[in-house]
């Protein structure tokens, strides 16, 4: 087994952008989430009640608990509406240029300790096209099965209401009911006249209001000889987040599990969209792992007391989403229960010979790749997230504030530039906040906290930022240390176990002793993320950890923080990962825009798989492989191509890669 240093490899037009095992890496194509026009028209006509989203302020996604693997490492964007790519072809040149300017100040792999390869084959270039459809992720569930969307049918349930509940209410009635549901007016009830007064018609209206507007109760009243269905609040504001218990059949499991197929949307945004259309809070959804935006992803979701019938109805309304494989279960899903993800990736316009590709893919299958944290872990702007994390651990709160708010080199969204300039000039959080049309970005949240708590209480001001976003910073610092230490470990000892290395026995880390060194392989060796509850290798890498943390004014022997949230217990991570279920093929094609494999939706629609010619203008490498949780597909593909995966490096090589 040989080890190779990082070497520069030319990259042609295109972007290398892939997704880690629980989140998608930045890619270049933006295809905005849309609601089909026909459904909007239906909703306005009162024909399709679930096709009109709630106008409630966008619900904040439930906080994930865990390592933050699936979070977006950008200070600038937490908003669903914010898109960081191109929406109009005419903007491409200007956007590409400004993005290139920004990336001149970004990070390279060398900046975050990514320097080694495990194989010695010659690298070659390839493009993960701006088509996000060239990157598909299928979740592997706790039972080891790969999730697929292959069944759109709804389980037959006699207790489900008639399909008429989706069409019985007019647009005006829906608007009145939504305003009542969301406490947006002073009215305490809404009365709907029953024009065709039959018991069946009244029943359908009762069912429509209760199922489509959670939190509302109904009753029938006679007014001057006319029948009215009166909707009113039963349980106050909490009812919206807690679906009515007595409206759910007792024989049915409380959770509807379904497979969510989504394009170019991360999991949090997808759940926000679904909750808007269902008029419920997003915290009634659960999932095993977050999938980021720039890909087609397929994963399992569970939702509390929303019927498969209602969920399936959303398939008529939403583009870039499909819901299916419905079942009722007793329990929700839990973060971390997944066994991993299966990736299908196309690298287009490859330059490698068939022999080069064969050698590279055989190495990936037999040896694997260094389990580095990928570039998306460290942010995409001139201020890396690990620098903020380091300042938090140092208790340097003024520096934390400055790193997040100070002006940055390179291009940024205009309103952020103005906000930062105002902050630098006045140090007035309220004045800087007024420059932000989007207040829920990290900068906006911190400024709001500073306005509330004052400049002398930065800790409390920073605490307004959601916990997972705060922890993202210190996890980024841990990852930065780990990457650097693993590179040094491989530099000093190569790709074989040595005495003093660490391996896991169960969940416990133990040392490799001289006499049993041959009992282990490099795939067993782990390295610690720094913390108060880990041990370090018994060789010179231990001293390297100490030196690195000391240089950052941190005490490796005291990783507890006086603020409990920021105390690092540490963890262990394998240094080399061998993917499972690896397969590949090289295909020839002429049209760079044609899909090179079918998605689940293509198969459901009966589209025939693509047919390839024996020769073509271009060649593509189609790869399939499975990875465990918290590993980065970027790093697997980096090993194949032998190239720097940072956007900065690619942009320097070709500033028009966004086209």
Q: Which are the catalytic amino acids?
A: 292
CA–CA separation, 58 vs 79, rounded Å? 9
Beta-strand runs (E) in 434-524: 502-505, 508-511
Give the C-alpha separation, 392 to 554, whole Å.
11
- What's the farthest any 2 CA atoms get from each other in the chain? 95
Mind giving me the DSSP string for 1-54?
A: ---EE-------SS----EETTEEPP-SB-----B-HHHHHHHHTTS-GGGS--
C-beta atoms surrounding 615 within 10 Å: 8
- Asked if residue 488 lies in contact with residue 541, where contact means CB atoms within 8 angstroms, the answer is yes
Give CA–CA dist 30/488, Å, rounded.
Answer: 38
Cβ atoms 568, 393 nearer than 8 A: yes
Burial class (CB in 10 A: 0-12, 13-18, 19+), 146: middle
Alpha helices in 149-289 (DSSP H): 171-181, 199-212, 267-278
DSSP symbols for 431-457? HHHHT-S-TTSHHHHHHHHHHHH-TT-
Could you tell me whether strands 135-140 and 296-304 are parallel, antiparallel, or unpaired per DSSP bridges?
parallel
The CA distance from 614 to 599, in Å, is 23
- In order of 89, 131, 579, the CA distances from 31 in angstroms are 12, 10, 30
Residue 515: Cβ-neighbour burial (10 angstroms; 0-12, 13-18, 19+): exposed
Handedness of CA 3, 385, 92, 79 (dihedral sign): positive
Strands 525-529 and 571-574: antiparallel
H/E stretch holding 493 reads: helix 467-493
């Amino acid at each position: 087994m040989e080890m190779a240093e990082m070497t520069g490899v030319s990259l042609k037009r295109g972007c290398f952008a892939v997704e880690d095992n629980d989140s998608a890496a930045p890619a270049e194509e933006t295809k905005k989430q849309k609601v089909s026009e026909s459904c909007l028209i239906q909703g306005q006509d009162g024909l399709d009640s679930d096709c009109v989203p709630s106008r409630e302020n966008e619900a904040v996604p439930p906080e994930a608990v865990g390592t933050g693997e699936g979070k977006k490492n950008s200070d600038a964007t937490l908003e669903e509406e914010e898109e960081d790519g191109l929406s109009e072809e005419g903007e491409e040149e200007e956007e590409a240029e400004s993005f290139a300017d920004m990336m001149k100040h970004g990070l390279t792999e060398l900046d975050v300790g990514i320097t080694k390869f495990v194989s010695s084959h010659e690298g070659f270039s390839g493009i993960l096209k701006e088509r996000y459809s060239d990157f598909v992720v299928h979740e592997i569930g706790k039972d080891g099965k790969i999730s697929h969307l292959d069944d759109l049918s709804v389980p037959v349930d006699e207790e489900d209401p008639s399909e008429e509940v989706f069409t019985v209410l007019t647009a005006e009635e829906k608007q009145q009911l939504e305003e009542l549901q969301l406490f947006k007016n002073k009215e305490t009830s809404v009365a709907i006249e029953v024009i065709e007064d039959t018991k069946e018609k009244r029943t359908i209206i009762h069912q429509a209001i209760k199922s489509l507007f959670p939190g509302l109760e109904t009753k029938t009243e006679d007014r001057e000889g006319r029948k009215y269905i009166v909707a009113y609040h039963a349980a106050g504001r909490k009812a919206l987040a807690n679906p009515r218990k007595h409206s759910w059949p007792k024989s049915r499991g409380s959770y509807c599990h379904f497979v969510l197929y989504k394009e170019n949307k991360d999991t949090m945004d997808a759940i926000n969209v679904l909750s808007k259309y269902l008029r419920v809070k997003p915290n009634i959804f659960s999932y095993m792992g977050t999938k980021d935006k720039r890909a087609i992803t397929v994963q399992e979701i569970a939702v509390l007391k929303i019927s498969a019938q209602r969920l399936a109805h959303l398939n008529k309304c939403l583009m870039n989403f499909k819901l299916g494989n419905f079942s009722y279960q007793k329990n929700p899903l839990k973060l971390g229960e997944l066994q991993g993800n299966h990736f299908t990736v196309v690298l287009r316009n490859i330059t490698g010979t068939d022999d080069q590709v064969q050698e590279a893919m055989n190495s990936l299958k037999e040896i694997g790749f260094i389990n580095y944290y990928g570039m998306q872990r460290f942010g995409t702007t001139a201020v890396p997230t690990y620098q903020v994390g380091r300042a938090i651990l140092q208790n340097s709160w003024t520096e934390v504030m400055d790193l997040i708010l100070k002006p940055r080199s390179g291009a940024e969204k205009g309103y952020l530039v103005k906000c930062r300039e105002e902050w630098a000039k006045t140090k007035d959080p309220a004045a800087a906040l007024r420059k932000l049309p989007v207040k829920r970005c990290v900068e906006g949240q911190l400024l709001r906290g500073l306005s509330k708590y004052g400049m002398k209480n930065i800790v409390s001001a920073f605490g307004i930022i959601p916990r997972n976003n705060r922890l993202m910073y210190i996890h980024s610092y841990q990852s930065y240390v780990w990457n650097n230490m693993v590179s040094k470990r491989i530099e000093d000892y190569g790709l074989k176990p040595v005495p003093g290395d660490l391996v896991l026995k169960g969940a416990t880390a133990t040392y490799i002793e001289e006499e049993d060194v041959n009992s282990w392989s490099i795939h067993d060796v782990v390295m610690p993320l720094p913390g108060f509850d880990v041990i370090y290798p018994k060789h010179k890498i231990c001293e390297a950890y100490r030196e690195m943390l000391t240089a950052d004014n941190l005490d490796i022997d005291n990783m507890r923080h006086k603020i409990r949230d920021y105390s690092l217990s540490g963890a262990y991570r394998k240094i080399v990962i061998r993917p499972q279920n690896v397969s590949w093929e090289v295909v020839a094609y002429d049209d760079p825009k044609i899909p090179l494999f079918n998605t689940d939706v293509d198969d459901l629609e009966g589209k025939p798989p693509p047919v390839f010619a024996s020769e073509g203008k271009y060649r593509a490498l189609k790869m399939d492989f499975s990875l465990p949780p918290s590993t980065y597909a970027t790093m697997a593909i980096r090993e194949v191509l032998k190239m720097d995966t940072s956007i900065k490096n690619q942009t320097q090589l070709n500033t028009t890669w966004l086209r």
